[in-house]
Amino acid sequence: MSIFQVPAVPATADAELAARLQQRIDRKTKPLGALGRIESLALQLGLVQRTEAPVLQQPQMLVFAGDHGLARRGVSAYPQDVTWQMVENMLAGGAAVNVFSRLAGLGVTVVDAGVAHDLAPRPGLLLRKVAPGTADASEGPAMSAAQCAQALAAGAEVLRGLPGNAVLLGEMGIGNTSSAALLLARLAGVPIEAAVGRGTGLDDDGLARKRALLAQVLARHADAQQPLDALAALGGFEIAMLAGAMLQAAHERRLIVVDGFICAAAALVACRLQPAVRDYCVFAHLGGEAGHAALLQALGVQPLLQLDMRLGEGSAAALAWPLLQAAVAMLREMASFESAGVSDSGG
């Protein structure tokens, strides 16, 4: 059976560097703290890169796609075929993630983590399919332990081969808000009713059915308490690959921009395995999916944006990217009170 070796993740904490970064930020020509979250972002980027002058090099947008056995149980407002159809749309450049990534100057790579359809090889697509979709988690584990380890390792491997020092992570998978909600309930103890949302747009009856089914699924896998056991039992392949990619990215001290609810659930898995992963993550937004706020709270993080989005794909990560660029530019290019000859009455 394949085993996934959880990579070591160095802590970013460095009190001396943090003090120097804060001093540098405070000497910029602005009232103390006036750039708000851009300032804390700049501090985080400096600590991740261990420098007072961070730089963002060759950022990569990766979209992990996978299908879910649970989708056959009516947990989504859309049919499973939308997963591969949207992958085709992404490869043709027509999805929201493509449009927003183009605006931000980011290339998009799609990773087939387990789509239930054969995708023809072509540029921009990495074929890493573990299986054509997970098993139905209401009947048994979504993945075997070996499949789960394979997916984690494949996610890490995708990262290992990548240039640059920043990755933006998104996903596509009809039914994957169910896996994300189940992981939130299991790994953070959030009541399943609060963790489950409308996903792609279930109506009230659909939401009630989804809640009832996922409560049963959670009870069925009551023994899967440890992060990797929970991940295998509850799915899915794209979430496991995302978690593996995050662990490897943090191991390599790369910055990670986490997209929406499902990506944040993958971050929860990664952080339960290696808590220091959180220091490398920027959480792009708080979206409209019901459990998203509880998930970010469980992680102890603040999102950058709040735009009522609930699309996934990496769309919000692409929108957040210019804010990271702004944080770096502020540190590197903005004048200080001394260099600009501006009076500093701030003490």
Q: Which is nearer to ligand NCN, 49 or 76 (CB)?
A: 76
List of residues contacting ligand DMD (CB under 6 A): 78, 82, 86, 172, 200, 311-313
Residue 234: which of ligand NCN, ligand DMD, none does it interact with, CB under 5 to 8 A by kind?
Answer: none
Question: Measured at CB, which residue is nearest to ligand DMD?
Answer: 78
Could you please report the per-residue DSSP string of 264-302?
HHHHHHHHHH-GGGGGGEEE-B--SSTTHHHHHHHHT--
313 flagged as catalytic: yes
Residue 111 has φ and ψ, to the nearest 5°, of: -115, 120
Q: At 87, which amino acid appears?
A: V
Could you please report the per-residue DSSP string of 187-201?
HH---HHHH---TTT
- Rounded-to-10 torsion of CA 245, 246, 250, 251: -40
Percent composition of the chain: helix, strand, coil (DSSP 3-state, to 5): 50, 10, 40
List of residues contacting ligand NCN (CB under 6 A): 76-78, 171-178, 199-200, 259-262, 287, 289, 292, 310-313
Q: How far is the CB of 249 from ligand NCN (least distance, A)?
A: 19
Q: Which is nearer to ligand NCN, 9 or 214 (CB)?
A: 214
Burial class (CB in 10 A: 0-12, 13-18, 19+), 5: exposed
Cα distance between residue 158 and residue 176, in whole Å: 21
> Per the structure block, which two tokens stand in for 134?
């997970």
Given the residues 16, 238, 313, 333, select the one marked as catalytic.
Answer: 313
Residue 249: which of ligand DMD, ligand NCN, none does it interact with, CB under 5 to 8 A by kind?
Answer: none
By residue count, the chain amounts to 347
Residue 61: which of ligand NCN, ligand DMD, none does it interact with, CB under 5 to 8 A by kind?
Answer: none
Residue 39: which of ligand DMD, ligand NCN, none does it interact with, CB under 5 to 8 A by kind?
Answer: none
Q: Which is nearer to ligand DMD, 90 or 130 (CB)?
A: 90
Gyration radius of the chain's alpha carbons = 20
Q: How far is the CB of 91 from ligand NCN (least distance, A)?
A: 15
Q: Which is nearer to ligand DMD, 86 or 149 (CB)?
A: 86
Q: Which is nearer to ligand DMD, 49 or 177 (CB)?
A: 177
Q: At 55, which amino acid appears?
A: V
CA 54 to chain centre: 22
Q: How far is the CB of 80 from ligand NCN (least distance, A)?
A: 9
Q: How far is the CB of 338 from ligand DMD (least distance, A)?
A: 49
Q: How far is the CB of 198 from ligand DMD (least distance, A)?
A: 12
Residue 310: which of ligand NCN, ligand DMD, none does it interact with, CB under 5 to 8 A by kind?
Answer: ligand NCN
Q: Active-site positions?
A: 313
